[in-house]
Copies of this chain bind each other. A is one copy, B any other.
Amino acid sequence: VLIKPETLQRVGAFKFRGAYNRLSRLSGAQRAGGVVAFSSGNHAQGVALAARLLGMPALIVMPVDAPKVKVEATRAYGAEVRFYDRGKDDREALAAAAGAERGAVVVPAFDDPLIIAGQGTAGLEIAAQAKALGAPIDVLLAPVGGGGLMSGVSLAMAALSPATKLYGVEPDGFDDTRRSLEAGERRGAPPAPRSLCDALESPMPGKLTFPILRDHLAGVFTVTDAEIAEAMRHAFETLKLVVEPGGVVPLAALLAGKIDLAGRTAAIILSGGNVDADLFARVIRGEM
């Protein structure tokens, strides 16, 4: 099992890849207007840091119950944070209004060609690193929220390692991509209580990401909160890596035996490590 620890990426998650790629392509005039984004946290941090590096003001619309560590880090990268209520507010409308008011570019979290291409650089690296190790990858598993990472990585692997079978992993109750692939069209999952994975609670695959996932994925696995917590403990005890719930789902799928690995080389992306200390403490103590 080969591990791509995007927990060690800037901002502690793969999201910096796409955000920087998107913002660095803006013209000077566009940069001056700044950027607006909405995100539960990792895209927020990616946009905030990319904006700071490019000298742009940034406003991030975040849910009021986002992990504290993500809100604090987003502010620490210099962005202004505006909160919304998940139950009541339309975050896309809030972001669009803020963008119009400021003359700022609104950067979506996943459904954008430059975001997808940026996330796909993780796939370019995985293919090159596996080649350097002389270890062709039979199966690759990555988390799926809106599908930006999975679709970018799928395009990279299709070009560089076409024999690799690609699997998405979603948390139980937020299996909109699994349902969409079964239906052959974009579907939402029925309303569910919150998952441990704040990063993967997207309502539906994107208009751009869905056809890419449909054309490249061999399947989607789902994992329970208990399997996710077990995988976080394994990452803590054995890998010595801090992985957030939404980032650990591929490891959870392997440990739960969702796929037969006998004689095969697997690659998994641990996509982020931004988790509140209190939640992490409860998980490693076995309290959840």
Q: Which of A79-87, A134-142, A165-173, A275-283 contacts B (4 or more CB under 8 A)?
A: A275-283
Taking CB atoms and an 8 Å cut-off, the chain A residues in 242-283 that contact chain B are 242-243, 273, 277-278, 280-282
- The docked-state distance in angstroms from the alpha carbon of A238 to that of B233 is 19
Q: How far is the CA of A12 from the CA of B145 in the complex (A)?
A: 31
Q: Which residue of B lies closest to A270 (CB)?
A: B240
CA distance A276 to B286 in the complex (A): 12
When all copies of this chain in the complex are counted, the total is 2
**A269 CB to closest chain B CB, in angstroms?**
14
Q: What residues of B have a CB within 8 angstroms of the CB of A281 in the complex?
A: 280-282, 284-285
Flag whether A160 is at the interface (Cβ < 8 A): no
Which B residues touch A240, using CB under 8 A?
5, 7-8, 12, 241-243, 273
Size of the chain A interface, CB-CB below 8 angstroms = 23
Which residues on the B side are within 8 Å of A280 (C-beta)? 236, 281, 284
Q: Is A237 an interface residue (CB 8 A)?
A: yes
Which of A7, A240, A241, A282 counts the most B-chain CB atoms under 10 A from its CB?
Answer: A240
Asked if A69 lies at the interface with its beta carbon under 8 angstroms from chain B, I say: yes
A273 and B243 CA atoms in complex are apart in Å by: 15
For A273, the chain B residues whose CB sits under 8 A away are 240
Find chain B residues with CB under 8 A from A284 CB.
277, 280-281
The answer to whether B237 touches A69 (Cβ under 8 A) is: yes
Q: Which residue of B lies closest to A12 (CB)?
A: B240
Closest to A272 in B: B240
Write out the residue numbers on chain B whose beta carbons fall within 8 Å of the beta carbon of A8.
239-240
Q: CA–CA, A284 to B69, complex, Å?
A: 12
Bound CA span A242–B282, Å: 16
Give chain B nearest CB distance to A149 CB in angstroms: 17
Once bound together, how far apart are the Cα atoms of A69 and B284, in whole Å?
A: 12
Q: A275: shortest Cβ distance to chain B, in Å?
A: 9
Please measure, in the bound complex, the distance between the C-alpha atom of A281 and the C-alpha atom of B240, giving whole angstroms: 14
Besides the known contacts A280-B284, A281-B281, 4 further A-B residue pairs in the complex with CB atoms under 8 A apart? A236-B242, A240-B243, A277-B286, A281-B284
The contact sample of 29 A-B pairs, CB cut-off 8 A, is: A5-B240, A7-B240, A8-B239, A8-B240, A12-B238, A12-B240, A69-B237, A233-B277, A236-B242, A236-B277, A236-B280, A237-B277, A240-B241, A240-B242, A240-B243, A240-B273, A241-B241, A241-B242, A242-B242, A277-B284, A277-B285, A277-B286, A278-B285, A280-B281, A280-B284, A281-B281, A281-B282, A281-B284, A281-B285
The 5 residue pairs across chains A and B that have the minimum distance between CB atoms: A240-B273, A281-B281, A277-B284, A240-B242, A7-B240
